[in-house]
C-alpha cells in the first residue's frame, strides 16, 4: 500500500508554501499562504479539493497547448492525471469561454 502525500496548496496562487493557521468557527483547518505576491493570505482546507479553480484550469489548458502531457501537467500543478484529463475533456466538449 502506498500512502498518498497530500500537498496543501494555496488555491489562489498555487503555492505550496503554506502554513497552518488554526481552525475557523466551523472547525475547518485554516492555512496561511506565504507567497507575498498572493492576494489571498489565508484559505480553508476545503478549497484545496477543488482542482477546477479557474487558475488551475487555465494552466492546464495552456500546458496542453504547449504540448505538455497530462501526467507531467498533473505533476507540475500538483493535481491528479485524472483531473487533468477531466479538465481537458470538459474543455473539448464545451466550446464556451
Residue in 21, 35, 42, 80 binding Zn ion, rule: CB under 5 A = 35
Compute how many residues bind Zn ion; rule: CB under 5 A: 7
Strand order in the sheet with 42-44: 18-23, 29-33, 42-44
Residue in 1, 5, 8, 12 binding Zn ion, rule: CB under 5 A = 12
47 binds Zn ion (CB under 5 A): no
d(CA 72, CA 77): 9
Q: How far is the CB of 28 from Zn ion (least distance, A)?
A: 17
Query: What's the first-to-final CA gap in the chain, in angstroms?
Result: 41
Residue in 33, 51, 60, 84 binding Zn ion, rule: CB under 5 A = 33
CB count within 10 Å of CB 8 equals 16
10 binds Zn ion (CB under 5 A): yes
Alpha-helical (H) ranges within the chain are 54-65, 70-77, 81-93
Span from 6-14, 57-65, 67-75, 76-84 in contact with Zn ion (CB under 5 A): 6-14
Residues interacting with Zn ion, by CB under 5 A? 10, 12-13, 15, 33, 35, 38
Amino acid at each position: 500500500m502506498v500512502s498518498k502525500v497530500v500537498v496543501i496548496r494555496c488555491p489562489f496562487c498555487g503555492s505550496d508554501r503554506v502554513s497552518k493557521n488554526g481552525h475557523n468557527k466551523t472547525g475547518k483547518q485554516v492555512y496561511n499562504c506565504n507567497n507575498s505576491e498572493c492576494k489571498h493570505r489565508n484559505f480553508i482546507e476545503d478549497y484545496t479539493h477543488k482542482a477546477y479553480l479557474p487558475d488551475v484550469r487555465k494552466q492546464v489548458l495552456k500546458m496542453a497547448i504547449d504540448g505538455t502531457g497530462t501526467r507531467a501537467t498533473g505533476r507540475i500543478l500538483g493535481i491528479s492525471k485524472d483531473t487533468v484529463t477531466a479538465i481537458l475533456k470538459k474543455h473539448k466538449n464545451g466550446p464556451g469561454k
